[in-house]
Amino acid sequence: MELTGIHIPLITPFAADGSVALDALEKLAHEVLDAGAAGLVALGTTGEPAAARDRFRIGSATKTFVATVVLQLVAEHRIALDDPVGTHLPGVLRDGAHISIRQLLNHTGGIYNYTSDPAFAYADDASFRTWLSTDRWKSRTMAELVAVAETHPAYFPPGQDWHYSNTDYILLGMIIEKATGRSWQQEVERRIVRPLGLSDTTMPENDPTVPGRHTRAYVSMPGGPVDITLFNPTIAGPAGAGISTTADLAAFMSALLGGRLLGPAELAEMKHTTGLGRGADYGLGLERTPTPCGDFWGHRGDSLGYSSIMLGDDTGQRQVVLSRNPYDPAGLPASEAAFTALVTAAACAGRTT
């Protein structure tokens, strides 16, 4: 199913009296659409039942699911945050003896981001057309993706700086598999999706489809819009292959921040930020987002044709989840500004600073 607008009524629980906040949010939502987004769906909840069931690719929000599984394994003493990666994956990284699991989780290991490699960048028209015709259907193993990263030098010595790297979470997926004997998808399903009843959330292996009712992703090309909804998710794996809905992501954030998935010690570790450079607000698969009404925690999720964010407050009672299709590149700066304003407005509607 194609989504062509915003489900404004889903935001109404944020408002103290319903009307004023709704008008402001609707205005901001339409600014996002007017700036070039092909579609946007939003959900805010303070514990009210959610009704947003259009699935979309959640991109890097997948990382928070994976990080949660890793911290559960830490709680079970099956791995430790300060274990060297090489202890669990011998021979996979040239510097595996000096990079810890913690540094994978918070992107301070300095490992090259494999999606920055020219083979994955698709930065010009010719390479993107190659992706459209052939590369979008390719299957890739996690070991192959790490091997691509290993052909590049490290960004910095482990622990000395911060650089976002999808390779970190590919490695975490491999560690989950080694520690449990099951795939990272199976562990996310077993430990998070089923216990929380997230019936519209899937972590696909190599199926290129988005099941059920879902939003579609488009990209602007000289000949008109091109549908890029379908592609083999192994290009992203545990770094970004997930599929979900605004309702399910809100439920996940409520459970995570409300202490139903991790114990107090593990949740505190997740919120321990690096304090380094651009990653100063990044913890273990969870990022702090300051707002005028307090800190929220969550993750952005950018995938081919999709852009989303999921946030929750410290209590686990209030969540903000939004997804859009950033269609027109020329409108991205204006769309991003309006999107950011919408996130803040949704988080703080009905609240005083």
**Mean pLDDT across the stretch 296-319?**
90
Q: Is-contact 329 305, C-beta < 8 A?
A: no
Q: Is-contact 147 141, C-beta < 8 A?
A: no
CA distances from 339 to 27, 33, 81, 220, 265 (A): 11, 9, 35, 19, 33
Q: Provide, rounded to the nearest whole percent, the portion of the chain with pLDDT above 90.
A: 62
Q: Provide, rounded to the nearest whole percent, the portion of the chain with pLDDT above 70.
A: 81
pLDDT band at 17 (very low <50, low <70, confident <90, very high): very low
- Could you tell me which residues come within 8 angstroms of residue 290 by beta carbon, excluding any fewer than 6 positions away? 281, 296
Considering only the C-alpha atoms of the chain, give the largest distance between any 2 of them, rounded to a whole number of Å.
59
Express each pLDDT in 178-200 by its tens digit. Answer: 999 999 999 999 999 999 999 99
Q: What are the E-state strand segments in 140-266?
A: 218-221, 224-227, 243-244
Catalytic residue among 19, 60, 220, 323: 60
What DSSP letter does each residue of 74-95 carry, written as one string? HHTTSS-TTSBHHHHSTTT-TT
Measured from the Cβ of residue 220, the count of other Cβ atoms closer than 10 Å reads 16
**Mean pLDDT across the stretch 9-14?**
29
**Mean pLDDT across the stretch 279-286?**
97
Distance CA 311, CA 295 (A): 10
CA distances from 264 to 102, 154, 257, 314 (A): 17, 34, 10, 12
pLDDT band at 340 (very low <50, low <70, confident <90, very high): confident
Structural domains of the chain sorted by starting position, each given as residue range(s) with its CATH number in brackets: 56-244+253-327 (3.40.710.10)
**Mean pLDDT across the stretch 287-315?**
91
Is the pLDDT at 210 greater than 60, yes or no? yes
pLDDT band at 219 (very low <50, low <70, confident <90, very high): confident
Of the candidates 61, 88, 251, 252, which has an alpha carbon nearest to the alpha carbon of residue 166?
A: 61
**Mean pLDDT across the stretch 241-269?**
96
Whether 60 sits among the annotated catalytic residues: the reply is: yes
Question: How do beta strands 294-303 and 306-312 pair?
Answer: antiparallel
Express each pLDDT in 129-147 by its tens digit. Answer: 889 999 999 999 999 999 9
Phi, psi of 41 (to 5 degrees): -125, 140
**Mean pLDDT across the stretch 254-269?**
97
Predicted local confidence at residue 49, as pLDDT: 34
Q: Is-contact 53 200, C-beta < 8 A?
A: yes
Express each pLDDT in 78-116 by its tens digit. Answer: 999 999 999 999 999 999 999 999 999 999 999 999 999
Distance CA 258, CA 46 (A): 12
Distance CA 338, CA 128 (A): 28
Bigger pLDDT: 27 vs 270: 270
- List the end-to-end C-alpha distance of the chain, in Å, as a whole number: 39
For the chain, give the mean pLDDT: 84
Is the pLDDT at 20 greater than 50, yes or no? no
Distance CA 108, CA 160 (A): 7
